[in-house]
Structure 1
């Protein structure tokens, strides 16, 4: 997947691969040490051996952190051209073994021990404590599906997605086939709040969170090419957007879902704008419960939130989401002739991140 998006960056931008000095890749469940496979993916995609590659992990914000790291490296003069990317294969890497046992030292500190509480369990408790009902969650989730279905049928994701040819084994026949993936297959038509209301809770018998109002287990990769405006103009590169500012904040581990609520105002302040100045907010839908709470507490109008749906409808490949959101946001801002956008997400272990973008 990562090699595929790297190749697409070269093909779509016509950038000379030798000009790309550094690539930062966000991922959470990295196989093979992460950076080893990422470097290999860059080389097979056509980048020069002179192009450096690193992997990083800030949980669900890894993809955004990768983009921001490259932007900061450019701003500081360390590099001129770089790529911020994200990738995750949750179908092959996600599971109970993803979180290892803690040492006695880490277990002895209450907040430290809370860092390994499963996301679904702590989100269930947060929904209960903050009085986010199942009905509210299901309505929000149904809306995400409905927006995504409408956008997919209208071809609004086509500009963002790079068709990828992969080998696939049919689980029924065990036959290996070559297929071309060109659309998110998690998007389901016909989803309503009523149909979601029939799904069994996942984390507590009397719980409100289930498979239909939480983000899906998905695979994905995304990449963003960055450089200064002067460099882009000199190289004849099409400018589609501008990175303005970003924030990263910490919250209590058991309240990781409130991360966007704390991170977004900080990013807006750094950018010198108000929440009303923002045309579109892409806030990751890790769980409907936490997303709804953040939106309500920030006082944001629902029509500005995830206009093409979100992770509930098409998935949250952990390391990919932060870089994918940049593409989703800038594409939609351009299509709707709007200007300012924010991407944000809650972050496992109790953090939040947000960034401000301007479309060209």
Structure 2
């Protein structure tokens, strides 16, 4: 029996403000961050009956302690969803939330689900990356990977070696722009709609309220970055200033079949076109977005010239610039990360994929002339992931413009 593939749409996404490790969330549980995100997602979409949620997929890189125990299921229960709603945990390191989205989206496209919640959480202050992990010694003794592959900062230095034109000055300049764009986005009220405030508790300071991303450093200058140490290589290029930090935070997104979204009166912010994950040399994991994007474009029947908006995760500035250089895109192209990125906002590993999607959805809303955009990430242990999305506002614009917008060949004017 043949099954028609259904259209998958991104309905909504929320996130907590991101924190510094040992900062505003030092005494807040990781699971409480994702529970708060799920509750806010449901609150913002009151036309969705909770029992219509078919799955909850929540990612975490370090699945231990308050980030363990089938987090998707326990978070769903604690968020107040009915006992009939199942859930599960997922791990693809930095692309955890991205994989939660693509996994549940695949189920929607196939017809297994109508509505799903996907997201991620990482409390790196409580659970540093790799805590409790016991890697098989053969992975090093049999030279399956170089020891550098297990230290993300060293892989970034290796990427500098692969791209000698990406200098320390270029990555620092990119990092300064990330801080500036993030501040401008906050000043213009572009980030706040994505955020759910989180009540915090500190033994010393008492109660507080997290309302903005704690890692931001808008005062950053080229001079201040030039003075930072390069901890991964003597006289190297990678510093704490041109890379994302060690952060805490959670995200959650609502996905649906488009017909179901229309039936329930839910918004349609993006349509999923396709996605791709690929493996690369673990020692240069930052190169992952390049072949992942090549594969996704091939699957979609598109070229890079068809993409009008880019959200590239800023694990390291060099990784973003390698992607841009490969595709012939300028370092300061306004289509790329227009609201800033992880260098300023933070990168709580498994949660970041949905942040990228939130920001791409905003770019689509503000730029209806753009039809396609993508979210892409490098992934630890040598992978890359890319998701291509279609702008529903473009489709609406085409419908409103009508037949008069095409020439005799049918091409858009």
Match of 1:357 in 2: 389
Match of 1:342 in 2: 374
The reply to whether residue 180 of structure 1 matches residue 209 of structure 2 is yes
The reply to whether residue 16 of structure 1 matches residue 49 of structure 2 is yes
Residue among 60, 70, 73 paired with 1:27: 60
- Structure 1: distance between partners of 2:266 and 2:109: 18
Match of 1:144 in 2: 178
Within 5 Å, which residues of 2 pair with 1:20-169?
20-32=53-65, 34-94=68-128, 98=131, 100-112=133-145, 114=147, 116-131=149-164, 132-169=166-203
* Partner deviation per Cα, 1:284-330 (whole Å, 9 max, x = no partner): 11111121111101222422211111111111110001122111110
The TM-score with structure 1 as length reference comes to 0.93
CA contact (8 A) 2:145 2:283 kept: no
Q: SS where residue 91 of structure 1 aligns?
A: coil
Task: Name structure 2 gaps, 5 residues minimum.
Answer: 1-32, 393-413
The TM-score with structure 2 as length reference comes to 0.82
- Structure 2: distance between partners of 1:110 and 1:99: 23
Q: Which moved more, 1:105-114 or 1:56-65?
A: 105-114
CA contact (8 A) 2:60 2:120 kept: yes
Residue among 197, 219, 224 paired with 2:253: 224
* Partner deviation per Cα, 1:98-119 (whole Å, 9 max, x = no partner): 3734334333321245485201
Match of 1:277 in 2: 306
Residue among 270, 280, 283 paired with 1:241: 270
Task: Name structure 1 gaps, 5 residues minimum.
Answer: none
The structure-2 alpha-carbon separation of the partners of 1:129 and 1:113, relative to structure 1 and needing over 3 Å to count, comes to closer
Q: SS where residue 318 of structure 2 aligns?
A: helix
Match of 2:11 in 1: none
- Structure 2: distance between partners of 1:99 and 1:211: 25
CA contact (8 A) 1:111 1:252 kept: no
Structure 1 runs of 4+ aligned residues shifted over 6 Å read none
Task: Tell me how large the CA RMSD over aligned residues is.
Answer: 1.7
* Partner deviation per Cα, 1:69-123 (whole Å, 9 max, x = no partner): 010001111111111111111121115x537343343333212454852011121
